[in-house]
């Protein structure tokens, strides 16, 4: 019997991350789901994955805190013995114009989105390197490529993730570890539900496919990048944006 594979998804309790965990589970992976909020329905999520016939470990950890991250990865390794695929998905926004942006809001977004990606990647690749295989997928954003008024902290974090991904891909390719990023456009999740209807309408006008994307449409590409079907792809940024950036 073929050995089961394991995926670790940061921020896997909601939105895109949850959908990613679901797609991997549907393809027979055991899943480690990271979250940070005390409001998370741990039992409900466990039940949902149990019913899919896969093992699911939920780990509370703030990805911006090195100690939390170390413990999370150790717990995952103790449970499953390995991590085949890492999806660095946890992310936040604290949008406002540069002139109004507090230092705290700038730092918080960089700490969770960019430093979090660094901390988790470092902790997980230690084990991937021993195994000489692995695939890492980082969540960037189209705004990390083209910028966006009101999101200088967020777009800086996402541009940083793109540079980080390419450097890691170069460092780890000789160990058979691939690293890629996805750059979603506007995807319907809690993160974008705060936008007003008029802002959403205005966004849709600018998207060639004339609609927001779904979490499933992002998750399927992330699954492809974690799988052997993408075995010759590393250091790339794949836009999933209905044609916004081309």
Q: What residues are paired with 225 via a beta bridge? A: none
Tallying the residues shown for the chain, one arrives at: 246
Residue whose C-alpha is closest to residue 76's, from 91, 60, 62, 88:
60
As measured in angstroms, the least distance from the Cβ of 162 to ligand NAP is 12
Identify whether 118 is a catalytic site residue.
no
Nearer Cβ to ligand NAP (139/152): 139
What's the rounded Cα separation, in Å, for the pair 236 and 7?
A: 20
As measured in angstroms, the least distance from the Cβ of 14 to ligand NAP is 4
Burial (0-12, 13-18, 19+ Cβ within 10 Å), 234: buried
As measured in angstroms, the least distance from the Cβ of 226 to ligand NAP is 16
Residue 12, SS3 per DSSP? coil
As measured in angstroms, the least distance from the Cβ of 99 to ligand NAP is 23
Residues that bind ligand NAP (CB under 6 A): 10-11, 13-17, 34-37, 40, 62-64, 89-92, 112, 139, 141, 184, 186-187, 189-192
Residue 37, SS3 per DSSP? coil
Nearer Cβ to ligand NAP (129/188): 188
Nearer Cβ to ligand NAP (101/129): 101
H-helix segments, 86-231: 103-109, 116-131, 143-146, 152-172, 190-193, 197-206, 215-226
How far apart, in Å, are the Cα atoms of 13 and each of 95, 144, 152?
22, 24, 26
As measured in angstroms, the least distance from the Cβ of 181 to ligand NAP is 10
Paired sense of beta strands 237-240 and 85-88, if any: unpaired
Paired sense of beta strands 6-9 and 30-35, if any: parallel
What's the rounded Cα separation, in Å, for the pair 74 and 29?
A: 19
Q: Which of 35, 118, 154, 223 is catalytic?
A: 154
Taking the alpha carbons at both ends of the chain, their separation in whole angstroms is 43
**Residues annotated as catalytic (active site), given as ranges:** 154
């Amino acid at each position: 019997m073929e050995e089961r594979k394991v995926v670790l998804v940061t921020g896997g309790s909601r939105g895109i991350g949850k959908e990613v965990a679901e797609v991997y589970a549907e393809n027979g992976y055991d899943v480690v789901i990271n979250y940070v909020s005390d409001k998370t329905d741990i039992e409900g999520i466990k039940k949902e994955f149990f019913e899919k016939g896969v093992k699911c470990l939920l780990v509370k950890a703030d990805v911006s805190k090195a100690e939390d991250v170390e413990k999370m990865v150790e717990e995952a390794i103790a449970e499953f013995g390995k991590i085949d695929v890492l999806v660095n998905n946890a992310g936040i926004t604290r949008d406002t114009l540069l002139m109004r942006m507090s230092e705290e809001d700038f730092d918080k977004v960089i700490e969770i989105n960019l430093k979090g990606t660094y901390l988790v990647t470092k902790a997980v690749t230690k084990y991937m390197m021993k195994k000489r295989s692995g695939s890492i997928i980082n969540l960037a954003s189209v705004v990390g490529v083209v910028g966006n008024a009101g999101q200088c902290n967020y777009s800086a974090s996402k541009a940083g993730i793109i540079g980080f991904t390419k450097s890691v891909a170069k460092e780890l390719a000789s160990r058979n570890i691939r690293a890629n990023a996805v750059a979603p456009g506007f995807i319907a999740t809690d993160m974008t539900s705060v936008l007003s209807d008029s802002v959403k309408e205005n966004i849709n006008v600018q998207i060639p496919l004339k609609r927001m994307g779904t979490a499933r449409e992002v998750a399927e590409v992330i699954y492809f990048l974690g799988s052997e079907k993408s075995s010759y792809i590393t250091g790339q940024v794949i836009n999933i944006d209905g044609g916004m950036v081309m």
